[in-house]
Amino acid sequence: MALILIVDDDADVRLALRELLETEGHRVLEATDGDQLLPLIMTHWPDLVLLDQMMPKVPGFEALERLRLNPAGKEFPVIMVTAAGSPQDAIRARQLGALEYIGKPWGKGEIEMRVKWVLQTVKRPVREPAERIFVVDDEEHMRLALATALGDCGYEVAPLPSGAEAVEASIQLNPSLIMLDLNMPGMDGIATLQQLRRIPTTMYTPVIIVTGAPTAETVQAARSLNATDFIMKPWQPRDLELRVRRALDSVATARAA
C-alpha cells in the first residue's frame, strides 16, 4: 500500500489519522509542523500528504506554497485536513493544488474514501533524480518483467544477466538498490552478494533477493551478508513496489538520522 505523510501539530489528530491509515494497510510518516514538509518529502518521497493548516511555525498554506515552488513538488498530491475551514480557505487550498479539503472533525469513512480516491486516480510521485536499481537475473524474461515494473514506478533500471556483470557495474556506478536472483550459472547470488559487500559503492546498498527456490542454507547465508528482503517468484507488482519502497525508505531514514 501507500506511504503517507501526516503533517499536523496536534498529537491526537496524528494518532487518529495514523490508526485509520494503518488499518487500511498504509505506512505512515509524521511531522509536527509545516517546516518539515519539504525536507521529509525530499527524503522519503511519500505517495500522499495529509496537511493541516493551523500550525505554530509554518502554517499549511505557507508550507504548500514552498512545496509548489520546488520543481519536484509542483504536482505532489496533497489533501488538506484542517479545523480552520472556510469557503475562502477551500478556494485557496485548491489554488495551491490541494486535491481535497477536509474539515475537522471529519465524517465516518471520509478520510479513507478521499485517500483511496486520490491514490487510485493520481499518478504517484516520481523521485527526482530517479533512483538506480540493478536487476540481476540470468533469465531474460524475469529481467524484462522486473525492469518494466520498476521503470513504471519511476526508477532507473539497469538489467544485468550475471553476477559478474553486476559486480563490474557496481565498481563504476552507485546503485540505490539491487534485485538479485540466487540461482544463476557461474557466480550465483550468494557469491555475487559476497563480492558486492567488498565494493565501497555497494558495501551497504540494500539488496532484495528475488528467488523461486530458497533453502534454509541460502536464506541464512544471504541474511549473514545483510540481504534486506526476500521476494518469492512469481511476485505481484504491488508487493514488489512496496518492498522496494520500504527498502529505499529505510536507507533514507538512516541517512537522515
Q: According to the model, what pLDDT value does residue 100 have?
A: 92
Q: Within its chain, how far is the Cα of 185 from the centroid? A: 32
Whether a cis peptide bond, with omega within 30° of 0, leads into 129 is: yes
Q: According to the model, what pLDDT value does residue 203 have?
A: 93
Q: Is 3 helix (H, G, I), strand (E, B) or coil?
A: strand
Q: According to the model, what pLDDT value does residue 256 have?
A: 58
Q: Please determine whether the domains at 3-121 and 132-256 fall in the same fold group of CATH.
A: yes
Q: Kindly report, residue by residue over 5-29, the tens digit of the pLDDT.
A: 999 999 999 999 999 999 998 889 8
State how far the Cα of 78 lies from the Cα of 70, in Å rounded to an integer: 14
DSSP string over 142-186: HHHHHHHHHHHTT-EEEEESSHHHHHHHHHH---SEEEEES--SS
Q: Label residue 33 by pLDDT band (50, 70, 90).
A: very high
Sequence-distant (≥ 6) Cβ neighbours of residue 62 within 8 angstroms: 34
For all residues of the chain together, what is the average pLDDT?
90
CATH architecture of 132-256: 3-Layer(aba) Sandwich (3.40)
State how far the Cα of 210 lies from the Cα of 231, in Å rounded to an integer: 5
Q: What is the pTM of this model?
A: 0.67
* Region of poorest pLDDT, from 103-107, 166-170, 221-225: 103-107
Sequence-distant (≥ 6) Cβ neighbours of residue 113 within 8 angstroms: none
Q: Label residue 88 by pLDDT band (50, 70, 90).
A: confident
Q: What's the CA angle centered on 103, arms 102 and 104, to 5 degrees?
A: 125
Give the residue, 237 or 49, on which the prediction is more confident.
49
pLDDT at 91 over 60: yes
Helix axes 140-152, 237-256, angle to 10 degrees: 60
State how far the Cα of 97 lies from the Cα of 13, in Å rounded to an integer: 23
Q: According to the model, what pLDDT value does residue 34 have?
A: 95
Out of 3.30.500.10, 3.40.50.10490, 3.40.50.2300, 3.40.640.10, the CATH code matching 3-121 is 3.40.50.2300
What is the domain partition of the chain in residue ranges?
3-121, 132-256
Q: Give, as one character, the DSSP assignment of residue 58.
A: S
| Ranges of H-type helices in the chain | 11-23, 37-44, 60-69, 87-95, 110-121, 140-152, 163-172, 189-196, 216-224, 237-256
Q: Kindly report, residue by residue over 163-173, the tens digit of the pLDDT.
A: 999 999 999 88
Q: Label residue 214 by pLDDT band (50, 70, 90).
A: confident
